[in-house]
Amino acid sequence: MGVYAVTGSASGMGRAVVDRLTAAGHTVIGVDLAGAEVAADLSTHEGRRHAVQEVLSRAAGKLDGAVLAAGMGPVPGAERLPLLGSVNYLGVVELLDGWRAALSAAGNAKVVVFGSNSTTTTPAVPRRTVKALLSGDVDKAVRSVRLFGKHAAPMMYAGSKIAVSRWVRRHATTKDWAGAGIRLNVLAPGAIMTPLLEKQLSTPSEAKLIRRFPVPVGGFGDAGQLADWVVFMLSDAADFLCGSVVFVDGGSDAYFRPDSWPNPVPISRLVPYAWRFLRYRGNR
Ligand code: NAI
Q: Judge if the beta carbon of residue 70 lies within 6 A of ligand 1.
A: yes
Domain residue ranges in the chain: 3-282
Q: Judging by DSSP bridges, how do beta strands 245-248 and 221-222 pair with one another?
A: unpaired
Distance 24 CA to ligand 1 centre (A): 23
Distance 87 CA to ligand 1 centre (A): 9
Asked if 6 contacts 28 with a C-beta cutoff of 8 angstroms, the reply is: yes
Q: The whole model's pTM is what?
A: 0.97
Q: What average pLDDT does the structure give for the chain? A: 96
State the DSSP code for 88: I
Map residue 258 onto helix, strand or coil. coil
Question: For 3-282, which CATH class?
Answer: alpha beta
Give the residue among 187, 191, 188 at the shortest CA–CA distance from 207.
Answer: 191
In angstroms, the first-to-last Cα distance of the chain is 51
Rounded Cα–Cα distance for residues 260 and 256 (Å): 9
Residue nearest to atom 26 of ligand 1 (CA): 12
Residue 246's alpha-carbon distances to 25, 195, 243, 267, in angstroms, are: 26, 22, 10, 25
Residue 284 has pLDDT above 70, yes or no: no
**Would you state the pLDDT for residue 282?**
72
Q: How far is CA 144 from the centre of its chain?
A: 21
Catalytic residue numbers read: 157
Residue nearest to atom 34 of ligand 1 (CA): 71
pLDDT for 58-104, tens place per residue?
A: 999 999 999 999 999 998 899 999 999 999 999 999 999 999 999 99
Q: Judge if the beta carbon of residue 116 lies within 6 A of ligand 1.
A: yes
Residue nearest to atom 6 of ligand 1 (CA): 8
pLDDT for 127-145, tens place per residue?
A: 999 999 999 999 999 999 9
Rounded Cα–Cα distance for residues 150 and 75 (Å): 10
Beta bridge partners of 245: 186
